[in-house]
C-alpha cells in the first residue's frame, strides 16, 4: 500500500460515474464482476457521531488507497466499495440499522463497526445470523464471549486492558523516576466498560501490582459536578489517578476540576482510557495545559511503520493527527481486502474463512497494530493484542508504549 | 357486558380478524428482513400502547413511566433465559406475572397521588430501575443463541414467525382491551377519568378499579416487553426502561386515539414505519435528521387531530356512517333494592355535625332530620357551608364531630362509595358526562356503582331514565344533550343506583324558568313515588314550590328550620340573605 498511484480528480470523477453506471446493471452481475461491497456501521449521529466520523475518514481513505492501487487483484481488479450505515444513538437503533444493512445489501462480503460495545453487541446479533464476517474495535469481552463464529475483535478486550494498564503505568513511572508508585485513586462512571474494568482492578489487579487504592469514586454519566469526588481523591494523596470516564465532556470536566484544585499534570499524574481521550475535540475544550502529561491507555495507535499513511491522512482530512478510531477503520478495510484476496471470491463465507486463516507478522495490515501481529483465535480475538499508552505532550497525544510505536519517553513528575 | 356490547364486540371482532389476517397475509410476502422487522415492531408497540391506554386512556391516570412494566417483562425474559435457560415461551408469562406484581408494588403508594403528581411519580420508577440494573451489572444482556432447538427458545430464522407471534400477542391485547371497554370495568374507568369524586359518589370504588387497571396494564406491557427482548436480542436498561420507551406508548396512543381500542394500533401502524423509513431514507443522507422530521410530523398531526386520528376521523367523517345502536329493550323487570322499612323515625338524623378548615368553621354544630318521602331544601347565602355539609355527609370530607344516622346506621367514617352503597345518591354542581358515550351508558355507571349485575344494571338505568322522562334519548351521545338534559341525566345516574336518599347540589343551576319547572316536576314525581330528597338551591321561587321544609344555614350553623312560608319571613333569615340595612328599611 506504500506504492501510491496518483489519480487525478477528473479520472476519479470518471471512475465515479462508471461506478454509478455500473450500479444500473443487474446487482448480482455487478457484485461478482466489478465491485466488492463491505459495510461500515458506526455512529454517524448522536453523542458518539464524532468517533464514527473519525472511523469514516480512515475507512474512506483506505478504500481509495485500495482502489487506486488497482482494486482486488484476485478478482481481476474489482473495486472495493464502502457501504455506510448509521447506528444512531441507541442499541435498538444500531440493531435496526444492521437489519436494514443485511436486507438492503445482500451481496456484502464483510463489514466493521460499531465503535461502542453496546452497539456492536446488538448489531452482531444480526450479522452473526446473516453469517457476515464482522470486524470490531469495541473492547467488551462479551462481544467475543458468546461463541459467535463471524465476529473478529481487533482490540485487546476490556478485561485484558484492565489487567495490563496498571502494571504498564507503574513500570513506565518507575522507569522515568526510579521510584515505584504505591497509591492510586480511581474515578469512573457506571457504564458497562468501566464497570467490568473496575471489577478486575478491585478483584486482583491492585494486589498483583502492589498498589493501594486510596479513593474509588463512581458516578452516573453525564457528569454534572465532580467537586466532592475530586476533593475526596485529593484527601487520599494518591501517587496517580485513573480515569474511567467514557466521553469527551466528562473527560474535560474531570481534568478541569483537577487543575482547578491545584492538581495539574505536574503535581498528580493522570491516566485515562479509551479513544475519546485522544480526540482533537478534547484538546479544544480542555486545553493543552490541563491535558499535559495525561497518559491514555487505548487499544491501538499508529506507529512509525505506518508513518506514510498517517501523513497522508492528516493532509487529506485536515485532522491534527491519525488516531485510534481512524487507524482501526483503515486497518479493518485492509484486513477485509486481504481476506477477499485470499478467498478469491466475493462470498461472505469464504471471506470469513479467509479472515480466520490470516496469520501475518509485520507485513500488510498487521503493520497497523503496535504488536505487528494479525491472527484471530477461535473466539475471534486478535492474538497478541496489546494495550498502547499515549501521553499528552504539548497539546499532542504521543505514543510512549509499547516500544514498537513509542515516539517519546514518558514524562512523569517526580512527586516528593 | 354493557348495553349494546355484543353488537360492538361483533363489529370490532370482525374488524380485528380482518385486519390481522390481512396483516399476516402481507407479511407473508415480505422477504426483506428489515421490512419484516418493522412489521414485527408495529404490533409490539401497539400492544404496549394498548396497555397504556387501559390505565391512562380509559382511566385517565396519566403514566409517564410505563417502561417499568415493559422493561420488567424484557428483563425477566432475558435473565430467566441467561441464568436458568428458561425458554421465552415461559419467560414471557413469567414476565407478565412480574408485571402484575410490579403493578401492585408501584400502584399501592402511587395511587395516593393524583393528576400531575401521579404522572411524575410514575416517571420515577423506570429511571430508578434503570440505575438499579446498571448498579447490579446488567448493562448489556445478550440473549444466548440456541443453535439446536431455536423454535423452542422463540428464535426464528424466518423473521415472519416473529411477526406472527407479535400479531397474535396484539390480537390478545386488543381482545383484552375490547373486554375492558365493553364491561363495567371500562365504564368505571371512564367515570374515574371524568371525575374521580363523582365516580366515587356514584358508588365506584375508584382505588380498586385503578389498581385493577394498573395490573391489567402492567401484565400486557410486560408481555410486549418480553417479546421485544426476543426480537431485539440484546437488552440494555436504556432500551427497555429509558425515557423514550416510556414515551412510545404515550405517543402512539395520543396519535392514534385515546380511550379507543384502535387508537394504539393506528398510531403504531403509522408512526413505527414512518420513523424507520425516515431512518432508512433520510438517516443515510443526513445522519440525525430523521429525528427532527419525526418530531415535526408528530407535532403537525397532533395539532391537526388533538384527540388522535381515530376520534378525529370518526367525528369528522363517519358521524352519519356509524351504525346506530339498537333502541333500548323494553324495560325488564327492575330489581329494586329493598331497604328496611323506616316509618317511625326520620330517614336521616344529623346531630351536632361540625367541620373546620383551620380556623374556619365551615359546618358548625349542625343538627336536622329528614323524614321519609320529604323534600328538604337546604338554603343559605354563598359560603354558608351547604356543599361542605353534603361533602361531610357522603364521605368526601371527614367530620370533626357529630353524627349522621341513615335509618339508624352511622354514615360518617365511611368512604364515598360505601356511603353511596348505603343508599345515598348525590349530584354535583358541575355535571360530569362522558360526551362520546350514549346516554344509557352515562347512567348505567350509577347502577354499576351500586353493585348491580349487568342486566339488572341496564334495567335500573332504563328505569331511571324513564323516571326523568328521557328514555327515548337513551342511545343519543351525551355530548349532544342540552344543559337541562344533562342535569336530568345526572339525576338519572344517581337514581340508577336506587338510593333511598338523594343529595342534590344545585340541580337547577343555570336553567331557564321553563326548564326549571320541568325539572321540578320530575323531582315532585320522585317524591310522590317515595323518594326522600335533600336539595341545595339558590333559586328561591323554585324552592318555595318544591320543598316541604327548609333548613337555613349561615356561617356554617343552622339559622332556622321550618316550613318554607315561616322560614322566609324569619327576620334572621332575611338579615342573613339581604343584610341589616334591608331589614331596617322594611321596618321603617
Q: Which of B120-134, B293-307, B450-464, B572-586 comes out lowest in average pLDDT?
A: B572-586
Q: Does B329 touch chain A (CB under 8 A)?
A: no
Give the distance from residue A111's alpha carbon to the nearest chain B alpha carbon, in angstroms. Answer: 17
Is the confidence at residue B588, as pLDDT, over 80? no
Q: Is residue A412 part of a domain?
A: no
Helical axes B159-181 vs B33-52, angle rounded to 10°: 20
Which CATH number is A245's domain given? 3.40.50.2300
Q: Does A148 touch chain B (CB under 8 A)?
A: yes
Give the distance from residue B384's alpha carbon to the nearest chain A alpha carbon, in angstroms. Answer: 55
**Residue contact A91–B287, C-beta within 8 A:** no
**In b/e form, how buried is each residue of B90-108, taking b as 16+ CB within 10 angstroms?**
ebbbbbbebbbebbeebbe
Q: Are residues A396 and A368 in the same domain?
A: no
**Residue contact A128–B145, C-beta within 8 A:** yes
Which of the four pLDDT bands, split at 50, 70 and 90, describes residue B144? confident
Rounded-to-integer distance, Cα B54 and Cα B259, Å: 7
Which of the four pLDDT bands, split at 50, 70 and 90, describes residue B335? low
- Model-level pTM? 0.81
Which is it for the CA torsion B361, B364, B369, B375, positive or negative?
Answer: negative
**Residue contact B140–A85, C-beta within 8 A:** no
Q: How many CB atoms lie within 10 A of CB B1?
A: 14
**Residue contact A91–B238, C-beta within 8 A:** yes
Contacts of A198 in chain B (CB under 8 A): none
Contacts of B244 in chain A (CB under 8 A): 90
Which of the four pLDDT bands, split at 50, 70 and 90, describes residue B138? confident
Cross-chain CB nearest to B139 (options A99, A129, A195)? A195
Average pLDDT over residues B323-342: 56
Collect all residues with Cβ–Cβ distance below 8 Å to B233 and sequence separation of at least 6: A95, A122, A125, A126, B142, B143
Find the domain containing A397 and state its range.
Answer: 159-298+388-401
Concatenating the DSSP letter of every residue in B263-325 gives HHHHHHHHHHHHHHHHHHHTTTTSTTHHHHHHHHHHHHHHHH-TT-HHHHHHHHHSTTTSPPP
Residue A85: closest CA among A76, A98, A69: A98
Q: Are residues A367 and A245 in the same domain?
A: no
Is the confidence at residue A30, as pLDDT, over 50? no
Cross-chain CB nearest to B287 (options A86, A121, A191)? A86
Give the distance from residue B155's alpha carbon to the nearest chain A alpha carbon, in angstroms. Answer: 11
Report whether B58 contacts B181 (CB < 8 A). yes
Residue with cell 385493577: B212
Rounded-to-integer distance, Cα A66 and Cα A58, Å: 12
Give the distance from residue A21's alpha carbon to the nearest chain B alpha carbon, in angstroms. Answer: 20
Contacts of B239 in chain A (CB under 8 A): 90-92
Instruction: Give me the pLDDT at residue A2, please.
Output: 40
Tens-digit pLDDT profile for residues B403-427: 999 988 899 999 988 898 888 998 8
Tens-digit pLDDT profile for residues B9-38: 888 999 999 999 999 999 999 988 888 999
Q: Are residues A87 and A53 in the same domain?
A: yes
Q: B338 or A242, which is more confident?
A: A242
Residues 69-128 of B with CB under 8 A from A: none
Cross-chain CB nearest to B239 (options A45, A90, A100)? A90
Helical axes B262-281 vs B289-304, angle rounded to 10°: 150
**Residue contact A118–B234, C-beta within 8 A:** yes
Report whether B544 contacts B564 (CB < 8 A). yes
Q: Does B140 touch chain A (CB under 8 A)?
A: yes
- How many CB pairs (< 8 A) connect A and B? 93
Q: Are residues A264 and A353 in the same domain?
A: no
Instruction: Give me the pLDDT at residue B341, please.
Output: 62
Tens-digit pLDDT profile for residues A303-350: 888 999 999 999 999 999 999 999 999 999 999 999 999 999 999 999
Residue B526: closest CA among B425, B419, B375: B375
Q: Is residue A271 part of a domain?
A: yes
Is the confidence at residue B202, as pLDDT, over 90? no
Rounded-to-integer distance, Cα B66 and Cα B372, Å: 50
Rounded-to-integer distance, Cα A156 and Cα A163, Å: 10
Q: Is residue A410 part of a domain?
A: no
Give the total residue count for chain A: 416
Q: Does A342 touch chain B (CB under 8 A)?
A: no
Contacts of B243 in chain A (CB under 8 A): none
Q: Is residue A79 part of a domain?
A: yes
Give the distance from residue B145's alpha carbon to the nearest chain A alpha carbon, in angstroms. Answer: 8
Q: Are residues A190 and A128 in the same domain?
A: no
Which of the four pLDDT bands, split at 50, 70 and 90, describes residue B208? very high
Rounded-to-integer distance, Cα A319 and Cα A51, Å: 13
Q: Is residue A407 part of a domain?
A: no
Instruction: Give me the pLDDT at residue B3, please.
Output: 63
- Burial class (CB within 10 angstroms; exposed 0-12, middle 13-18, buried 19+) of A397: buried
Instruction: Give me the pLDDT at residue B584, please.
Output: 78
Report whether B156 contacts B9 (CB < 8 A). no
Q: Compare all CA atoms of chain B with the CA of A43 and give the residue at the minimum distance.
A: B287
Q: Does B233 touch chain A (CB under 8 A)?
A: yes
The average confidence (pLDDT) of chain A is: 88
Q: Does A121 touch chain B (CB under 8 A)?
A: yes
Q: Are residues A279 and A221 in the same domain?
A: yes
Contacts of B280 in chain A (CB under 8 A): 100, 104
Q: Is residue A383 part of a domain?
A: no
Number of domains in chain A: 2
In the structure grid, which three cell numbers stand for residue A306, read together? Answer: 505506518
Concatenating the DSSP letter of every residue in A5-35 gives PP--HHHHHHHHHHHHHHTTS-HHHHHHHTE
Which of the four pLDDT bands, split at 50, 70 and 90, describes residue A29? very low
Contacts of A122 in chain B (CB under 8 A): 232-234
Q: Are residues A203 and A328 in the same domain?
A: no
Residue B348: closest CA among B388, B375, B385, B386: B375
Q: CA B157 → CA B147, B150, B154, B350, B542, distances in Å?
A: 10, 8, 10, 74, 77
Q: Is residue A406 part of a domain?
A: no
Report whether B187 contacts B63 (CB < 8 A). no
Report whether A396 contacts A321 (CB < 8 A). yes
**Residue contact A220–B131, C-beta within 8 A:** yes
In the structure grid, which three cell numbers stand for residue A16, read together? Answer: 465515479
Q: Are residues A169 and A293 in the same domain?
A: yes
Is the confidence at residue A14, as pLDDT, over 50? no
Q: Does B137 touch chain A (CB under 8 A)?
A: yes
Give the distance from residue B276's alpha carbon to the nearest chain A alpha carbon, in angstroms. Answer: 8
Instruction: Give me the pLDDT at residue A13, please.
Output: 46
Q: What's B445's DSSP letter?
A: H
Q: Is residue A311 part of a domain?
A: yes
- Please, what are the domains in chain B? 5-242 (no CATH), 348-587 (3.40.50.300)
Tens-digit pLDDT profile for residues A211-233: 999 999 999 888 889 999 999 99
Q: Are residues A107 and A250 in the same domain?
A: no
**Residue contact B287–A102, C-beta within 8 A:** no
**Residue contact A148–B145, C-beta within 8 A:** yes
Q: Compare all CA atoms of chain A with the CA of B242 and give the residue at the minimum distance.
A: A90
Q: Compare all CA atoms of chain A with the CA of B245 and give the residue at the minimum distance.
A: A92
Q: Are residues A261 and A206 in the same domain?
A: yes
Q: Are residues A32 and A96 in the same domain?
A: yes
Is the confidence at residue A80, as pLDDT, over 60? yes
Instruction: Give me the pLDDT at residue B565, please.
Output: 86
Which of the four pLDDT bands, split at 50, 70 and 90, describes residue A90? confident
Q: Compare all CA atoms of chain B with the CA of A91 and give the residue at the minimum distance.
A: B239
Residue B515: closest CA among B491, B488, B536, B534: B488
Q: How large a percentage of chain B has pLDDT more than 90? A: 43
**Residue contact A96–B276, C-beta within 8 A:** yes
Residue A327: closest CA among A278, A284, A376, A290: A278
Instruction: Give me the pLDDT at residue A266, please.
Output: 84
Q: Are residues A62 and A144 in the same domain?
A: yes
Cross-chain CB nearest to B288 (options A46, A103, A195)? A46
Q: A173 or B293, which is more confident?
A: A173
Give the distance from residue A101's alpha carbon to the nearest chain B alpha carbon, in angstroms. Answer: 8
Amino acid at each position: 500500500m506504500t506504492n501510491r498511484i496518483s489519480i487525478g480528480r477528473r479520472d476519479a470523477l470518471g471512475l465515479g460515474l462508471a461506478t454509478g453506471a455500473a450500479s444500473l446493471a443487474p446487482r448480482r452481475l455487478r457484485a461478482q464482476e466489478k465491485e466488492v461491497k463491505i459495510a461500515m456501521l458506526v455512529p454517524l449521529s448522536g453523542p458518539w457521531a464524532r468517533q464514527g466520523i473519525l472511523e469514516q475518514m480512515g475507512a474512506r481513505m483506505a478504500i481509495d488507497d485500495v482502489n487506486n492501487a488497482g482494486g482486488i487483484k484476485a478478482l481481476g481488479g474489482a473495486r472495493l466499495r464502502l457501504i455506510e450505515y448509521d447506528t444512531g444513538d441507541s442499541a435498538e437503533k444500531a440493531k435496526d440499522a444492521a437489519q436494514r444493512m443485511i436486507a438492503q445489501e445482500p451481496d456484502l462480503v464483510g463489514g466493521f463497526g460499531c465503535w461502542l460495545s453496546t452497539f456492536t453487541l446488538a448489531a452482531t446479533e444480526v450479522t452473526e445470523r446473516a453469517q457476515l464476517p464482522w470486524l470490531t474495535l469495541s473492547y467488551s469481552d462479551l462481544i467475543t464471549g458468546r461463541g459467535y463464529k463471524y465476529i473478529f475483535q481487533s482490540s485487546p478486550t476490556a478485561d485484558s486492558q484492565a489487567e495490563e494498564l496498571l502494571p504498564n503505568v507503574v513500570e513506565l513511572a518507575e522507569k522515568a523516576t526510579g521510584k515505584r508508585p504505591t497509591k492510586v485513586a480511581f474515578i469512573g462512571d457506571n457504564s458497562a466498560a468501566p464497570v467490568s474494568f473496575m471489577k478486575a482492578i478491585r478483584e486482583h489487579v491492585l494486589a498483583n501490582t502492589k498498589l493501594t487504592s486510596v479513593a474509588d469514586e463512581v458516578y452516573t454519566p453525564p457528569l454534572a459536578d465532580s467537586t466532592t469526588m475530586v476533593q475526596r481523591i485529593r484527601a487520599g494523596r494518591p501517587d496517580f489517578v485513573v480515569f474511567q470516564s467514557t466521553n469527551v465532556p466528562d473527560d474535560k470536566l474531570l481534568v478541569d476540576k483537577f487543575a482547578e484544585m491545584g492538581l495539574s499534570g505536574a503535581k498528580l499524574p493522570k491516566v485515562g482510557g479509551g479513544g475519546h481521550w485522544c480526540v482533537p475535540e478534547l484538546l479544544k475544550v480542555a486545553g493543552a495545559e490541563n491535558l499535559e502529561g495525561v497518559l491514555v491507555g487505548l487499544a491501538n495507535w499508529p506507529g512509525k511503520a505506518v508513518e506514510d499513511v498517517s501523513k497522508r491522512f492528516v493532509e487529506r482530512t485536515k485532522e491534527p493527527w491519525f488516531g485510534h478510531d481512524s487507524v482501526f477503520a483503515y486497518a479493518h478495510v485492509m484486513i477485509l481486502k486481504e481476506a477477499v484476496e485470499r478467498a478469491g471470491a466475493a462470498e461472505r463465507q469464504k471471506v470469513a474463512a479467509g479472515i480466520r486463516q490470516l496469520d501475518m507478522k509485520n507485513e500488510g495490515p498487521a503493520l497497523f497494530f503496535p504488536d505487528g501481529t494479525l491472527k484471530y483465535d477461535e473466539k475471534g480475538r486478535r492474538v497478541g493484542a496489546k494495550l498502547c499508552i499515549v501521553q499528552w505532550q504539548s497539546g499532542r497525544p504521543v505514543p510512549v508504549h509499547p516500544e514498537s510505536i513509542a515516539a517519546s519517553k514518558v514524562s512523569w513528575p517526580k512527586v516528593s | 357486558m354493557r348495553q349494546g356490547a355484543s353488537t360492538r364486540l361483533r363489529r370490532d371482532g370482525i374488524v380485528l380478524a380482518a385486519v390481522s389476517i390481512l396483516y399476516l397475509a402481507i407479511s407473508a410476502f415480505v422477504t426483506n428482513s428489515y421490512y419484516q422487522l418493522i412489521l414485527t415492531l408495529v404490533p409490539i408497540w401497539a400492544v404496549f400502547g394498548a396497555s397504556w391506554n387501559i390505565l391512562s386512556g380509559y382511566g385517565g391516570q396519566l403514566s409517564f413511566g410505563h417502561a417499568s412494566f415493559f422493561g420488567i417483562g424484557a428483563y425477566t425474559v432475558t435473565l430467566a433465559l441467561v441464568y436458568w435457560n428458561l425458554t421465552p415461551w415461559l419467560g414471557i408469562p413469567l414476565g407478565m406475572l412480574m408485571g402484575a406484581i410490579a403493578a401492585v408494588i408501584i400502584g399501592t403508594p402511587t395511587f395516593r397521588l393524583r393528576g400531575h403528581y401521579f404522572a411524575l411519580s410514575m416517571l420515577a420508577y423506570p429511571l430508578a430501575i434503570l440505575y438499579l440494573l446498571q448498579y447490579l451489572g446488567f448493562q448489556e444482556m445478550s440473549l444466548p443463541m440456541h443453535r439446536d432447538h431455536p423454535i423452542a427458545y422463540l428464535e426464528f430464522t424466518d423473521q415472519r414467525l416473529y411477526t406472527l407471534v407479535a400479531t397474535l400477542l396484539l390480537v390478545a391485547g386488543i381482545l383484552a382491551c375490547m373486554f375492558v371497554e365493553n364491561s363495567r370495568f371500562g365504564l368505571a374507568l371512564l367515570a374515574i377519568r371524568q371525575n374521580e369524586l363523582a365516580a366515587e359518589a356514584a358508588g365506584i370504588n375508584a382505588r380498586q378499579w385503578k389498581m385493577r387497571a394498573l395490573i391489567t396494564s402492567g401484565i400486557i406491557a410486560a408481555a410486549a416487553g418480553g417479546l421485544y427482548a426476543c426480537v431485539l436480542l440484546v437488552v440494555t436498561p436504556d432500551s427497555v426502561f429509558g425515557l423514550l420507551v416510556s414515551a412510545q406508548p404515550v405517543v402512539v396512543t395520543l396519535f392514534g386515539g385515546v380511550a379507543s381500542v384502535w387508537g394504539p394500533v393506528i398510531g403504531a401502524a403509522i408512526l413505527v414505519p414512518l420513523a424507520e423509513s425516515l431512518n432508512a431514507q433520510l438517516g443515510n443522507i443526513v445522519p440525525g435528521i430523521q429525528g427532527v422530521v419525526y418530531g415535526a410530523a408528530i407535532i403537525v398531526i397532533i395539532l391537526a387531530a388533538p384527540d388522535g386520528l381515530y376520534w378525529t376521523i370518526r367525528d369528522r367523517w363517519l358521524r352519519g356512517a356509524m351504525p346506530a345502536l339498537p333502541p333500548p329493550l323494553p324495560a325488564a323487570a327492575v330489581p329494586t333494592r329493598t331497604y328496611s322499612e323506616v316509618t317511625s323515625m326520620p330517614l336521616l338524623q344529623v346531630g351536632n355535625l361540625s367541620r373546620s378548615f383551620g380556623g374556619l368553621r365551615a359546618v358548625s354544630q349542625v343538627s336536622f332530620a329528614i323524614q321519609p318521602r320529604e323534600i328538604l331544601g337546604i338554603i343559605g347565602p354563598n359560603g354558608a357551608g351547604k356543599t361542605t355539609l353534603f361533602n361531610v355527609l357522603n364521605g368526601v370530607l371527614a367530620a370533626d364531630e357529630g353524627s349522621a344516622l341513615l335509618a339508624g346506621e352511622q354514615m360518617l367514617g365511611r368512604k364515598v362509595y360505601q356511603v353511596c352503597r348505603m343508599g345515598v345518591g348525590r349530584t354535583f354542581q358541575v355535571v360530569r358526562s362522558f360526551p362520546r358515550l350514549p346516554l344509557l351508558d352515562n347512567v348505567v355507571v350509577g347502577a354499576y356503582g351500586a353493585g348491580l349485575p349487568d342486566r339488572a344494571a341496564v334495567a335500573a338505568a332504563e328505569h331511571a331514565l324513564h323516571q326523568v322522562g328521557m328514555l327515548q334519548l337513551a342511545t343519543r351521545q351525551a355530548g349532544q344533550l342540552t344543559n337541562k338534559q344533562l342535569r336530568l341525566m345526572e339525576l338519572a345516574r344517581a337514581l340508577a343506583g336506587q338510593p333511598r336518599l338523594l343529595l342534590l347540589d344545585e340541580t337547577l343551576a343555570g336553567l331557564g324558568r321553563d326548564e326549571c319547572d320541568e325539572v321540578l316536576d320530575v323531582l315532585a314525581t320522585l317524591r310522590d313515588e317515595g323518594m326522600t330528597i335533600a336539595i341545595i338551591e339558590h333559586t328561591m321561587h323554585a324552592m318555595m314550590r318544591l320543598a316541604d321544609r327548609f333548613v337555613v344555614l349561615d356561617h356554617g350553623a343552622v339559622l332556622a328550620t321550618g316550613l318554607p312560608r315561616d322560614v322566609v319571613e324569619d327576620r334572621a333569615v332575611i338579615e342573613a340573605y339581604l343584610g341589616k340595612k334591608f331589614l331596617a328599611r322594611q321596618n321603617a
